[in-house]
């Protein structure tokens, strides 16, 4: 309770209590935010508090609640991402409809949202690098599990990868350094893969799969992603599946992509991990977007809610149980010959 | 005049109808797949082509050989690949990447602009293939593990990571008397970084993501002398609306300036301590070496003599 009071006081006074704000955010705020499946609410909280948090401490000297900012800025990034997705999907619809000028317009809309998302995720990454020493990829920091620091570290690493992806989609407007992904891949080795639902290895594999020559000898990124996704499914927190799906989409591995989306749809029958519903829901949104891209390209609209895990053009096999019908009903009668309409 | 207006109006209406010329597949090589900068650029092209009545479905490829093969085998209606893979589709535009031919981005721009002229259209077509756009992808520099390797003669006997499919590079290795170490895009950086090669060649865009600073270490350098210009080239085949290729080439040439900041930013990211200039008294050695290699490949029919002559003249203007 005292820490919450300090948080409020420090926000009001904009001074001191940096470490208390960090701790409060990690141990009081994060659990509440993470337990809610409402990604929009979590992201709005991040947008609302990030600017306030940045005034606490001595920002000019770099003393701000860096750990807390990892959470708030990553959450804030999640607000913009769906806007970029919508523009992308609308662009796909416009492309199908031959609306050339609208395609160009929506591409620009999409790029602007990607740039904002990159800005926020990169800010989260920069706070991660300021919060712990050594820098990501240079060694492993001592993370205090009792203060949820390892959770924030996982989120911060994910933010690093997301920052690069969004900046690339924005044409490099933000200038996120391209060596961030390899730093993430090295830093992910500092985390317990089993404890974090296969996410650390999935992050590594996603980076290795998309940077030429980045994978260490003997490592098969796609196999690691499949293992990690299964681990996440078993833990009922399917963030690793989202990284697998995004990577397969990036590589143009269409068949494997559809299989992974279908596997995710099947896994949704099991409720999400109660303490991390938001992350699981966020993973669902990421994966559904890839499904939507397929549906828009093939059918001109987003994935119908009752078709998630299925794809256009894959008609049901109507004849698969005809043997049962034959046994019960006998052979089908031939269709009647068409007759001419009476005059 | 009224008749002309009617024709124009009819043509405009035809272009404005929702139905596009039909879905076509554009296979895009990007080492980072759909999240990489080439694919993002292809999306811009896709938007432009949609305004010309052609709808492209973009497919990412992280293996350029597969992208080129799929295009050759008719699985793609268009391909966006590097110039070095274009030899099989158009020797003329492939020759734009000839060693030492294009010394600067200014010359590259004037070359691409000249080739986008309708007068150059016949050079863009080779049988059923048509080059529909050329984009800059970065000057290629030598990365050397020791700063002392500044001059052409210093490369003799050194191990050079060489892409096996890159005939020009293999010829150059022979000309300078270096020793080729077979590599590909997935392995050259790690071979340079772990010391298996003394020399690698790549645009500056490879420096940060592939962590080439590790191979440079404290003693290495990037030699500020473009040994070639890497380009991305768009090649099409099949039924396209009349004039599509020309319109596409003109649009592509117009993108040159928009693409330069990314390339120059990558060059600026290489720390100043790593850049070395070729000593003035040795620059002639490089020029002669590359000119010699280029001349041999023109004689051998690898490079197109017309393009080489054209660009040499543009460089001297």
- The domains spanning B19-139+229-268 and B140-227+276-302 adopt the same CATH topology: yes
**A310 band by pLDDT with thresholds 50, 70 and 90:** very high
CB contact under 8 Å between A104 and B50, yes or no, is yes
Q: Is the pLDDT of residue B7 over 50?
A: no
Contact list in A for residue B190 (CB cut-off 8 A) is 213
pLDDT in tens, B200-218: 999 999 999 999 999 999 9
Tokens of B302: 């690898």
DSSP assignment of A226-264, as one string? HHHHHHHHHHT-THHHHHHHHHHHHHT-HHHHHHHHHHH
CB distance from B125 to chain A under 8 Å? no
CB distance from B35 to chain A under 8 Å? yes
3-state secondary structure of B223: strand
Q: Under a CB-based contact definition with an 8 Å cutoff, are residues B156 and B177 in contact?
A: yes
CA angle at residue B212 from B208 to B215, to 5 degrees? Answer: 160
pLDDT in tens, B101-112: 999 999 999 999
Rounded percentage of chain A residues whose pLDDT exceeds 70: 90
The length of chain B, given as a count of residues: 317
For chain A, the average pLDDT equals 90
CB contact under 8 Å between B209 and A96, yes or no, is no
pLDDT of residue A35: 94
* Residue ranges covered by each domain of chain B: 19-139+229-268, 140-227+276-302
List the single residue in A100, A165, A251 with the smallest CB-CB distance to B62.
A251
pLDDT in tens, B41-87: 999 999 999 999 999 999 999 999 999 999 999 999 999 999 999 99
φ/ψ (deg, to 5) at B313:
-70, -40
Among B103, B132, B146, B90, smallest CA distance to B243 is for B132
| Superfamily for the B19-139+229-268 domain | Bacterial extracellular solute-binding protein, family 7 (3.40.190.170)
Euclidean distance between CA atoms A49 and A46, whole angstroms: 5
Euclidean distance between CA atoms B73 and B69, whole angstroms: 6
Euclidean distance between CA atoms A281 and A190, whole angstroms: 25
Fold category of B140-227+276-302 in CATH: D-Maltodextrin-Binding Protein; domain 2 (3.40.190)
pLDDT of residue A63: 83
Q: Is the pLDDT of residue B13 over 60?
A: no
CB contact under 8 Å between A179 and B209, yes or no, is yes
Higher pLDDT, B206 or B15: B206
CB distance from B189 to chain A under 8 Å? yes
Neighbours of B64 (CB within 10 A): 20
Contact list in A for residue B209 (CB cut-off 8 A) is 178-179, 181-182, 211
Taking residues A209-222, what's their average pLDDT? 93
Q: Is the pLDDT of residue A2 over 70?
A: no
Rounded percentage of chain B residues whose pLDDT exceeds 70: 93
List the single residue in B46, B187, B208 with the smallest CB-CB distance to A178.
B208
List the single residue in A95, A100, A250 with the smallest CB-CB distance to B33.
A250
Q: Under a CB-based contact definition with an 8 Å cutoff, are residues A58 and A67 in contact?
A: no
Tokens of A226: 């499949």
**What are the residues whose beta carbons fall under 8 Å from the beta carbon of A165, sequence distance 6 or more?**
A246, B35
pLDDT of residue B4: 36
Q: Which stretch of A331-335, B21-25, B106-110, B267-271 has the lowest confidence by average pLDDT? A: A331-335
Taking residues A187-207, what's their average pLDDT? 97
Taking residues B167-191, what's their average pLDDT? 88
pLDDT of residue A283: 97
Among B140, B163, B145, B168, smallest CA distance to B155 is for B145
Nearest-neighbour CA in chain A from B49: distance (Å): 8
CB distance from B106 to chain A under 8 Å? no
CB distance from B31 to chain A under 8 Å? yes
CB contact under 8 Å between A179 and B35, yes or no, is no
pLDDT of residue B14: 34
Higher pLDDT, B22 or B238: B238
Euclidean distance between CA atoms A100 and A331, whole angstroms: 53
Rounded percentage of chain A residues whose pLDDT exceeds 90: 74
pLDDT in tens, A59-115: 777 788 999 999 999 999 999 999 999 999 999 999 999 999 999 999 999 999 999
CB contact under 8 Å between B208 and A175, yes or no, is no
CB contact under 8 Å between A168 and B33, yes or no, is no
CB distance from B26 to chain A under 8 Å? no
Q: Which residue in chain B is spatially nearest to A106 when comparing CA positions?
A: B47
Q: Is the pLDDT of residue B10 over 50?
A: no
* Residue ranges covered by each domain of chain A: 18-191, 195-302
Q: End-to-end CA distance of chain B, in Å? A: 43
Taking residues A131-147, what's their average pLDDT? 94
pLDDT of residue A170: 95
pLDDT of residue A338: 55
**B243 band by pLDDT with thresholds 50, 70 and 90:** very high
pLDDT in tens, A15-49: 457 888 888 887 888 888 899 999 999 999 999 99
CB contact under 8 Å between A211 and B57, yes or no, is no
pLDDT in tens, B254-274: 999 999 999 999 999 999 999
Contact list in B for residue A210 (CB cut-off 8 A) is 31-33, 35-36, 62
Q: Is the pLDDT of residue A278 over 80?
A: yes
Contact list in A for residue B216 (CB cut-off 8 A) is none
Q: How many CB pairs under 8 A join A and B?
A: 98
List the single residue in A91, A211, A251 with the smallest CB-CB distance to B60.
A251
CB contact under 8 Å between A104 and B48, yes or no, is yes
Mutation target vs A (from B33, B38, B58, B60; most A CBs, 10 A cutoff): B33
């Amino acid at each position: 309770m005292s820490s919450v009071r300090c948080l409020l006081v420090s926000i009001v006074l904009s001074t001191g209590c940096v470490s208390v704000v960090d701790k409060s955010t990690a141990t009081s705020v994060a659990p509440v935010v993470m337990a809610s499946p409402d990604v929009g609410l979590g992201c709005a909280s991040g947008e609302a508090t990030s600017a306030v948090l940045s005034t606490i401490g001595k920002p000019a000297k770099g003393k701000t609640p860096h750990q807390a900012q990892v959470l708030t800025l990553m959450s804030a990034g999640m607000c913009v991402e769906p806007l970029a997705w919508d523009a992308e999907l609308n662009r796909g619809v416009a492309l199908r409809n031959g609306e050339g000028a609208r395609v160009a317009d929506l591409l620009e809309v999409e790029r602007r949202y990607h740039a904002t998302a990159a800005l926020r995720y990169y800010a989260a990454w920069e706070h991660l690098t300021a919060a712990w020493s050594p820098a990501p990829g240079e060694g492993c920091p001592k993370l205090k599990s009792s203060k949820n620091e390892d959770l924030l570290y996982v989120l911060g690493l994910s933010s690093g990868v997301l920052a690069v992806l969004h900046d690339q989609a924005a044409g490099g407007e933000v200038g996120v350094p391209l060596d961030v992904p390899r730093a993430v891949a090295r830093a992910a080795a500092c985390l317990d893969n089993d404890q974090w639902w296969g996410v650390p290895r999935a992050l590594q594999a996603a980076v290795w799969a998309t940077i030429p020559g980045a994978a260490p000898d003997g490592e098969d990124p796609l196999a690691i992603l499949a293992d990690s996704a299964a681990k996440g499914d078993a833990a009922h927190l399917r963030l690793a599946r989202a990284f697998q799906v995004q990577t397969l989409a990036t590589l143009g591995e269409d068949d494997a992509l559809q299989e992974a989306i279908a596997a995710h749809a099947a896994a949704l029958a099991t409720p999400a991990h109660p303490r991390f519903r938001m992350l699981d829901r966020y993973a669902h949104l990421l994966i559904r977007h890839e499904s939507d891209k397929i549906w828009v390209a093939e059918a001109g609209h987003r994935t119908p809610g009752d078709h998630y895990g299925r794809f256009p053009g894959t008609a049901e096999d109507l004849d698969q149980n005809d043997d049962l019908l034959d046994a019960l009903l006998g052979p089908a009668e031939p269709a009647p010959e068409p007759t001419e309409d009476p005059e | 005049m009224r008749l002309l207006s009617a024709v124009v109006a009819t043509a405009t209406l035809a272009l404005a109808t929702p139905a596009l010329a039909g879905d076509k597949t554009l296979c895009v090589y990007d080492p980072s797949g759909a999240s990489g900068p080439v694919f993002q650029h292809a999306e811009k092209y896709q938007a432009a082509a949609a305004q010309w009545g052609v709808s492209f479905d973009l497919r990412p490829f992280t293996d350029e050989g597969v992208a080129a093969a799929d295009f050759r085998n008719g699985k793609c209606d268009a391909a966006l690949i590097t110039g070095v893979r274009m030899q099989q589709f158009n020797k003329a535009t492939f020759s734009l990447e000839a060693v030492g031919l294009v010394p600067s981005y200014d010359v590259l721009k004037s070359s691409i602009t000249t080739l986008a002229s309708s007068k150059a259209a016949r050079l863009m077509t080779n049988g059923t293939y048509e080059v529909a756009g050329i984009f800059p992808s970065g000057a290629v520099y030598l990365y050397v593990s020791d700063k002392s390797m500044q001059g052409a003669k210093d490369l003799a006997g050194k191990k050079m990571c060489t892409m096996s499919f890159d005939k020009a590079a293999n010829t150059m290795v022979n000309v300078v008397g270096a020793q080729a170490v077979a590599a590909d895009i997935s392995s050259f950086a790690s071979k340079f970084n772990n010391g298996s090669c003394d020399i690698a060649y790549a645009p500056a865009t490879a420096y940060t993501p592939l962590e080439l600073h590790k191979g440079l270490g404290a003693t290495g350098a990037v030699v500020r002398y473009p040994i070639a210009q890497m380009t991305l080239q768009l090649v099409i085949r099949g039924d396209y609306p009349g004039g599509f290729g020309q319109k596409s080439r003109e649009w592509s040439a117009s993108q040159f300036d928009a693409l330069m900041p990314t390339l120059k930013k990558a060059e600026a990211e290489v720390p100043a301590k790593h850049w070395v200039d070729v000593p003035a008294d040795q620059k002639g050695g490089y020029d002669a070496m590359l000119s010699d290699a280029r001349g041999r490949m023109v004689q051998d029919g690898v490079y197109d003599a017309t393009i080489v002559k054209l660009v040499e003249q543009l460089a001297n203007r």
